[in-house]
Structures are given as C-alpha cells and as structure tokens.
C-alpha cells in the first residue's frame, strides 16, 4: 500500500493524491472528512471515483469517524477487497490437505 499519483484521475494541475492505493490489486481507499459533504466536493469525489472505476480500479470510501471509531471494520473490508477471487477456496483446500497429511 502506498500514497500514489494516478494520472488517469488527474486534478486540474495534472495530479491526484489518493488516501491509499494497492496498485497490484487495483484498489483505492478514500477517507472522507466533513469537507467532503459540500455538494461540490461530493460531486468531485463521485467524478473521481467514476474515472477510477472506468479505469479498472475498485474504490472503497469510509467517513473519517468510522476509521476512528471502528478501525477493525475498515481493516476487515479492505482485507476482503484485497483477497483475490478463489483465495478462500484455495485456503480451505490447503487446510484440508494439511489435516489429511497430519492424520496419515
């Protein structure tokens, strides 16, 4: 995870800072404070999300109070988004194979 500049979601100056980006997973996480509630800021956020989604990214948004008050929920949702399809099935198969090997 890192803070990153995404050219496809550029601002007027040609750059856009995002709160968190996992490039390999094509996942963006944004944390919204109270200034995001203004209708123009809200539209700017929606427009940027749309650009990211059209560009192949997934976007998770959290209000700042949820990050502060329920960080475990935020971490759980990010973790779920970072898992690739099939990871859970592969993990269960690996556990099952491990158990089978231990019983032999």
Its pTM stands at 0.68
Give phi and psi for 52, each to the nearest 5: -65, -45
- Determine the Cα–Cα distance for residues 47 and 36; give it in Å rounded to an integer: 13
Domains, in order of start, for the chain: 7-103 (3.40.960)
Give phi and psi for 20, each to the nearest 5: -155, 140
- Determine the Cα–Cα distance for residues 50 and 57; give it in Å rounded to an integer: 9
pLDDT in tens, the chain (104 residues): 444 444 444 555 566 678 999 998 999 999 998 887 788 888 989 999 999 999 999 999 999 999 999 999 999 999 999 987 666 565 566 666 656 665 55
Cβ atoms of 55 and 9 within 8 Å: the answer is yes
How many other C-beta atoms can be found within 10 angstroms of the C-beta atom of residue 88? 11
């Amino acid at each position: 995870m890192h803070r990153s500049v995404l050219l496809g979601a550029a601002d007027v100056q040609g750059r856009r800072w995002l709160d968190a980006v996992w490039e390999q997973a094509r996942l963006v996480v944004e944390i919204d404070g109270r200034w995001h509630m203004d209708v123009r800021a809200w539209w700017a956020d929606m427009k940027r999300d749309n650009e990211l989604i059209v560009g192949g990214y997934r976007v998770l948004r959290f209000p700042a109070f949820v990050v502060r008050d329920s960080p475990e929920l935020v971490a759980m949702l990010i973790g779920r988004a970072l898992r690739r399809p099939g990871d859970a099935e592969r993990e269960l198969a690996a556990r099952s194979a491990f158990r089978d090997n231990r019983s032999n």
